[in-house]
Amino acid sequence: MVDKNQQIIDSTLDQEYKYGFTTDIEQTTFEPGLNEEVITKLSKLKKEPQWLLDWRLKAYESWKKMEEPTWAQVDYTPVDYQALSYYSAPKYKKNDSLDDVDPDIIETYNKLGISLNEQKRLEGVAVDAVFDSVSVATTFKEELSKHGVIFCSFSEAVINHPELVKKYLGSVIPRTDNYFAALNSAVFSDGSFVYIPKGVRCPMELSTYFRINAANTGQFERTLIIADEGSHVSYLEGCTAPMRDENQLHAACVELVAHKDATIKYSTIQNWYSGDKEGKGGIYNFVTKRGKCVGDRSKISWTQVETGSAVTWKYPSVIMQGDDSVGEFYSVAVTKNKQQADTGTKMIHIGKNTKSTIISKGISAGEGQNTYRGGVKILKNAENARNFSQCDSILIGDKCGAHTFPYIDVKNPTAKMEHEATTSSIGEDQLFYCNQRGINLDDAVSMIVNGFCKEVFAELPMEFAVEAKQLIEVTLENSVG
């Protein structure tokens, strides 16, 4: 029986990646290579002020002296940074009107299930669409501006809101923070910018949809979200890319700033191309995400559903500086075939009565390797800080792996920490039980896995919880025999 199951496991897991198509469109693409000239050219092209160019160049200087990190439990062909192109954009000019967006691009997003037509879009969700290196459209801008909410591409924010960008850029992730963050700081091309004014509850979900299309380019986007005092925002990002034999690099930075009494909820559904069964191709997803609870009673909550990418290196973190601030991290990470994920979070408690929650669910199938790496740091002045961590792993088949690396550093004796970790297989007995009630294998697996992920899916905005559930079902279809 075990043999039979194994055979089926081996012969499957090759569920077609739905989003693997390429859009044939004229693009302006930089020659491969990275140096000061390329950065200057990029900055000029974007009509950036001198201070930003200087900032980029300083980041580049630091990056050159840094070494690519090797501590993660991942194994991949090194990236040749000089062989990448650092900018690729569709050849048309972005206007304020959505009517002017290239029909091919609109069609691309339609195929991805993202309508840029405001009437057809899910009610209550505004979208910023990033195609390779640039934002191609942002919906519901007018509606949002009535509430004082700024939601635009990063490039537009640099032009229209330089004071905000200058104040907050790099305030959470310093440009020398780590190798990939430094690289991103030097070459980031676009991304989303959000500002929620004091006391405003953002009237709709905001989302950015990242699409990699061009070959041999890296995508380096930068997202900055600022929630002013007493404001509230829920933000979601989604990601897909064409199927290619070569690996492609995605090195993003996301910075969140929550002022007094503000709440930021940031959700990710990451479905980059993961490579084929043999592990050929796929996206390297090397991302730095961090939020800072600057003010008292502020809250930052990360929820991620990670199903794509060949290699994931990502630790959305929260710095709880304000007293009574809250950091949360809810994660479902799925690896199948030869995918590798090293993901987790860092919760840094600085203020008094700060509270963090970590719920991490790792699902490994095929030959996938799934690592949870999480740090909880409680500093000296963080009186009565509390952390609860729960890291559960589920294994499907016997060729995959799950690993847990918790790091705990407590400098204040009043801290309360709880850590729970479990690893289990989808049991033959669970499958037998479901089958005996007439439920077939695929339905049984998706039911068991969805039950396993329930606490995390419950954190996603409703529409996306359904999407996440379906994504997991498709990803794991036929993964058990």
CB nearer other proteins, residue 417 or residue 434: 434
Instruction: Restricting to residues 430-469, name those near other proteins by CB under 8 A.
Output: 430, 432-441, 443, 447-448, 450-455
Spatial distance between the Cα atoms of 141 and 131, rounded to a whole number of angstroms: 18
Least Å from the CB of residue 420 to other proteins: 13
Least Å from the CB of residue 442 to other proteins: 11
CB nearer other proteins, residue 136 or residue 456: 456
Write the CB contacts of 50 (distance below 8 Å, at least 6 apart in sequence): none
CB nearer other proteins, residue 106 or residue 426: 426
Amino acid identity of residue 196, one-letter, is I
Spatial distance between the Cα atoms of 318 and 382, rounded to a whole number of angstroms: 14
CB nearer other proteins, residue 216 or residue 425: 425
CB nearer other proteins, residue 50 or residue 436: 436
CB nearer other proteins, residue 414 or residue 424: 424
Spatial distance between the Cα atoms of 150 and 231, rounded to a whole number of angstroms: 13
Record the tokens describing residue 401, joined without a space: 């792996």
Spatial distance between the Cα atoms of 227 and 233, rounded to a whole number of angstroms: 7
Amino acid identity of residue 190, one-letter, is D
Tell me the CA distances in angstroms from 48 to 39, 171, 189, one per residue in order.
11, 19, 11
Write the CB contacts of 30 (distance below 8 Å, at least 6 apart in sequence): 38, 41, 42, 85, 86, 87, 88
Least Å from the CB of residue 269 to other proteins: 19
Stretch that binds other proteins, among 246-254, 343-351, 365-373, 429-437 (CB under 8 A): 429-437
- Asked if residue 282 lies in contact with residue 274, where contact means CB atoms within 8 angstroms, the answer is yes
Spatial distance between the Cα atoms of 161 and 315, rounded to a whole number of angstroms: 29
Least Å from the CB of residue 474 to other proteins: 18
Least Å from the CB of residue 473 to other proteins: 13
Spatial distance between the Cα atoms of 481 and 478, rounded to a whole number of angstroms: 7
Least Å from the CB of residue 272 to other proteins: 27
CB nearer other proteins, residue 182 or residue 468: 468
CB nearer other proteins, residue 308 or residue 481: 481
Least Å from the CB of residue 359 to other proteins: 12
Least Å from the CB of residue 476 to other proteins: 15
Instruction: Restricting to residues 115-154, name those near other proteins by CB under 8 A.
Output: none
* CB crowding 222-232: b at 16 or more within 10 Å, else e: bbbbbbbbbbb
CB nearer other proteins, residue 159 or residue 447: 447
Write the CB contacts of 102 (distance below 8 Å, at least 6 apart in sequence): 25, 90, 92, 136
Strand partners of residue 355:
326, 386
Number of other residues whose CB lies within 10 A of the CB of residue 67: 6
Q: How many residues bind other proteins (CB under 8 A)?
A: 25
CB nearer other proteins, residue 263 or residue 475: 475
Least Å from the CB of residue 469 to other proteins: 12
Instruction: Restricting to residues 94-113, name those near other proteins by CB under 8 A.
Output: none
Least Å from the CB of residue 444 to other proteins: 9
Which secondary structure element, helix H or strand E, spans residue 240, and what is its range? strand 232-240
Name which of 237, 214, 175 is nearest 87 in CA terms: 214
Instruction: Restricting to residues 368-427, name those near other proteins by CB under 8 A.
Output: 427
Please report whether residue 330 would count as binding other proteins according to CB under 8 A: no
Amino acid identity of residue 116, one-letter, is L
Where does this chain bind other proteins (CB under 8 A)?
1, 4, 427-430, 432-441, 443, 447-448, 450-455
